[in-house]
Amino acid sequence: MKILIIEDEDKLREVMIRSLEKEQYLVESVATFQQALLKISDYDYDCIILDIMLPDGSGLTLLSELKKMHKKESVIIVSAKDSLDDKVIGLNLGADDYLTKPFHLAELNARIKSIIRRKQQDGELSLSLGNILIYPDKHLVNVDKEEVVLNRKEFDLLYYFITNPGRLLSKDALAESVWGDYIDQADSFDFIYSQVKNLRKKLKTAGATPEIKAIYGFGYKMILEE
């Protein structure tokens, strides 16, 4: 799962990055309004941590731009301003939550998990498709109640497939969802083929009923066999 941190305080930004990476999120960060605008224009995220007061613009303006783009990212506003007006404006603009600085990193992490569960997992702690059951918070996968051991990238790919059942997913979309904007530095998508191949093999060996189908020239699709 991908998180974007928009925060101009260097120390706080670095602390949040380290904390969220320990939770096995893919974390990207920016410090300015303009950098953030480029990020949200070019990439998709599961959750955005948004500071209101940026050196070259307002986080509330960024939130408005995000909604104009019809993006579906969850947004948690963080601000040193404990202002009711700011909270009301932010929530009315589409933010999902609001944290006032200073805050505990454990609380931030809990709120991120809560929002993702609410938006992507219908409030449940687990997701299922066919006989596959995954627990995102624990990075645990079961097939017919037996654990299937996946590495981090394989788990992230499976999560993306299960949250997009039956949808044709391009290699670009898969790469961006699991590797983030670092994918821009890649010469080819051969590594995607390798990771998907390994995931498909592990699921097949475990007897999973959903299957990842390769669509030649386009990408992959997870379907549930009848």
pLDDT digits (tens, 9 = 90+) for 3-13: 999 999 999 99
Q: How far apart are CA 139 and CA 149, in angstroms?
A: 9
Q: Give the predicted TM-score (pTM) of the model.
A: 0.74
Q: List, for residues 40-51, the tens digit of each pLDDT value.
A: 998 889 899 999
- Same fold across 2-119 and 127-224: no
Domain parsing of the chain, residue ranges: 2-119, 127-224
Q: Is the pLDDT of residue 181 over 70?
A: no
Looking at per-residue confidence, does 24 or 10 come out higher?
Answer: 10
Identity of residue 48 = I
Per-residue confidence band for 185, with pLDDT thresholds at 50, 70 and 90? low
Specify the CATH number of the domain 2-119.
3.40.50.2300
Neighbours of 215 (CB within 10 A): 11
Q: What percent of the chain has pLDDT over 70?
A: 92
CATH topology of domain 127-224: Arc Repressor Mutant, subunit A (1.10.10)
Mean pLDDT over 47-63 rounds to 92
Nearest to 134 by CA among 122, 148, 151: 148
